A = this chain, B = another copy of it.
Amino acid sequence: MKAVIITIGDEILIGQTVDTNAAWLGKMFNQRGITVEKTISIRDDEHAIHQALDESFKIANVVLMTGGLGPTADDITKESLCSYFNTELVLSEKSLQQIKGFVESRGYSVNENNYNQAMLPEACTVISNHIGTAPIMQFEQEGRLLFSMPGVPFEMKYAMEHEVFPRIEERFSFPPVFHQTVMTYGMPEAFLAEKLNDWANQLQDCVKLAYLPSPKGIKIRLSVYDTAISGWKEAVETAVIGLKEEIPELIFSEQEENLENALFHLLKQNNLKLSVAESCTGGLIGSLMTSIPGASEVFEGGVIAYSNNVKQHLLSVSEVVLEEFGAVSEETVREMASQVKNKLHTNCAIAVSGIAGPDGGSEAKPVGTVWIAVALGNQVVARKFQFGSIRWVNTEKAAYSAMHLLYKLIKKEVMNS
């Protein structure tokens, strides 16, 4: 089962847009056992599109195409598909109705561009785009499938998950690949790999190991590509048990989910409500926690205490503490955590204060210094972190380190109770 990805758009080739669609599609297919043989990025050009299709159909069972479906004149994917498949554009009533509904729900009325978007190649199967105006097209050529999707990432992803992949699954059978992901936080890859060296050497041959690092933690992925081999399930289970013995304090989940999600579930299970007091993270922790549907069950709100004024007047951090120890100090974050917890009547809280950079550092507190406090019941735990010099990395690491610190504190309490 082989696939080729074609991404269309001048903006990709001139480097104005990084092609995250191809990476996302590659990841999705890989996880599901489909090999992506090639990714081709081309300009909005009919000849180039035809050539890419010729190439792709030679090697792939499934061709995924994104981009070039906008309502404007520079987008020519549809026309190019017509000439390639020797068909012509006709009005799709179904699409027009869907586009109409979508546009009108936003308070606009359908215009000529929208009509043009409902003009689709006669030879294709039209698939509705439920969250945008460019329909998805499905073509078939000698048993091979081609899907043309919008280039807007969230529209493409939605279409892939809800419409396109189910159609691929229906048509082809491919050997299932098994991935077991264990999520860790708190140790850089090089050290994690060193610590896990012996464990890794004892893995059975059928289990492949990969470390996937990001500022949000390191995923450890165990993959079995040949699930026809007997005993692979036990091999994976043994590996996971071993891993939990090696690094119990670093693991926050045994499934592919991010830290905010794991924290959300832990809070929910234990009937806890969270509040936050954020200085250098500026609202990022709140933003991450509220990205989860149903966040209101565990998240009350908080204070973005960016300036000292806000720390003092909205959080009642004492002026003496701020003056004596500074905004980036253990004393300050401890007060921030306790105060926000009490003021918002929650049973746990996170507080962060640090120097995100690029400026504002000193010898005693260089850029990347971050103090974090987490409160649970009457306990407050504070810890200092030293990150690097890049602002967004520091902010992200501060947010994730803070959530991880609270996660560990709750886990410990749950185990002890």
Interface on A for B, CB 8 Å cutoff? 10-20, 22-30, 36-43, 48, 52, 55, 70-74, 103, 105-108, 111-114, 117, 131, 133, 152, 154, 158, 179, 188-191, 193-194, 200, 208-215, 219, 221, 276, 278, 280-287, 289-291, 293-296, 299-307, 309-310, 313-314, 343-345, 356-359, 386-393, 395
Contact = CB atoms under 8 A, between A and B. Distances in A.
Nearest to A109: B191
Contacts of A210: 10-11, 16, 74
State the oligomeric state as a number of copies.
Answer: 2
Given A42-B37, A131-B388, A193 B12 contact: no
Given A106-B188, A133-B190, A301-B310, 13 more contacts: A13-B26, A14-B26, A16-B219, A38-B40, A38-B52, A39-B42, A103-B190, A106-B388, A113-B193, A291-B391, A291-B395, A309-B344, A309-B345
B296 A301 contact: no
A73 B194 CA distance: 11
A115 to B, nearest CB: 10
A206 B37 CA distance: 38
Nearest to A302: B304
Nearest to A399: B287
B154 A390 contact: yes
A235 to B, nearest CB: 18
A281 B291 contact: no
A56 B136 CA distance: 30
A331 to B, nearest CB: 19
Contacts of A52: 38
Nearest to A110: B190
Label chain A's interface by main secondary structure: mixed
A269 to B, nearest CB: 20
Contacts of A212: 11, 16-17
A165 to B, nearest CB: 14
B282 A289 contact: yes
Contacts of A29: 15
Given A55-B55, A212-B11, A283 B291 contact: no
23 contacts: A10-B210, A11-B212, A12-B26, A12-B39, A15-B26, A15-B30, A17-B23, A18-B18, A18-B19, A18-B23, A38-B41, A106-B188, A111-B190, A111-B191, A133-B188, A281-B290, A283-B290, A284-B287, A293-B391, A294-B359, A301-B303, A304-B304, A314-B343
Contact of A303 (B14, B26, B106, B314): B314
A1 to B, nearest CB: 14
Given A108-B191, A190-B114, A359 B293 contact: yes
Given A12-B26, A23-B18, A301 B314 contact: yes
Contacts of A278: 283, 286
B131 A310 contact: no
B283 A304 contact: yes
A207 to B, nearest CB: 13
A218 to B, nearest CB: 10
Contacts of A280: 290
A51 to B, nearest CB: 8
A272 B293 CA distance: 35
Contacts of A289: 282
The residue in A41, A71, A188, A284 that gathers the most chain B C-beta atoms within 10 A of its C-beta is A41
A287 B293 contact: no
Contacts of A189: 70-72
A152 B213 contact: yes
Contacts of A387: 106
Contacts of A393: 131, 154
